[in-house]
Structure 1
């Protein structure tokens, strides 16, 4: 279980945030693709699934977005929403990464006896 590891929930959170980054980037890249359906995850469900080590944990938490406005070509990407979600996720990813780097530094210092 990830909660028992050296990094606790933060290792699993970093994994989920990384995978979400790719999903959001795909949405942005396909903003003009007819029929493309925007997807995102339920972060809590994905985190719990990754912590429990289930197969395809992330894939099970992926959901299609419900658009605020429908388009004629069937594309459900709302670019402003996707860009905002991407930026927020990037900040959260960086915060988690900074915490983990601090933890690694602590462990390294402890192992060196500093």
Structure 2
């Protein structure tokens, strides 16, 4: 019997991804006027692959809880193929603001789902009352 479902681990990794994406977008926005700055992005495919195949630790007894590693080293890439400004900068402020809003919605949805999971646990612990 698992104490917690895999959902908690997946939500945690989703929050890690959204947090890193927020930092990368904020850094891009902060450097919108920096000459020769190349915009960065977080690769979702890498994050998804890590979430779908978590590291399984060796257990000496089947009664031990399973330990799943939490790799949070997502791939941050530099977008160097596009130049939007005359000074060599590749930050598109409209795209960054759109990505920021999309990431905020994603983060809020994950937090709501995590709260729902904890409320379900609380209900089970209280015996359905």
1:67–1:77 Cα contact (<8 Å) kept: no
* Corresponding residue number in structure 2 for 1:103: 117
* Offset at residue 102 of structure 1 (A): 0.5
Name stretches of at least 5 consecutive residues in structure 1 with no aligned partner.
none
Alpha-carbon distance in structure 2 between the residues aligned to 1:86 and 1:108? 33
RMSD, matched Cα: 2.2
Which SS does the other structure have where 1:45 is aligned?
helix
* Offset at residue 19 of structure 1 (A): 0.9
2:84–2:92 Cα contact (<8 Å) kept: no
* Offset at residue 112 of structure 1 (A): 1.9
Alpha-carbon distance in structure 1 between the residues aligned to 2:122 and 2:37? 46
Name stretches of at least 5 consecutive residues in structure 2 with no aligned partner.
56-68
Higher Rg of the two aligned structures: 2
1:16-37 Cα shifts (integer Å, max 9, x gaps): 0111111101111111111211
62-71 vs 91-100, greater mean Cα deviation: 62-71
Alpha-carbon distance in structure 1 between the residues aligned to 2:124 and 2:71? 35
TM-score, normalized by length of structure 2? 0.73
Alpha-carbon distance in structure 1 between the residues aligned to 2:126 and 2:27? 43
1:31–1:77 Cα contact (<8 Å) kept: yes
Which of 68, 81, 85 is the equivalent residue of 2:99? 85
Number of aligned residues: 109
* Corresponding residue number in structure 2 for 1:31: 32
Alpha-carbon distance in structure 2 between the residues aligned to 1:98 and 1:12? 15
TM-score, normalized by length of structure 1? 0.81
* Corresponding residue number in structure 1 for 2:108: 94
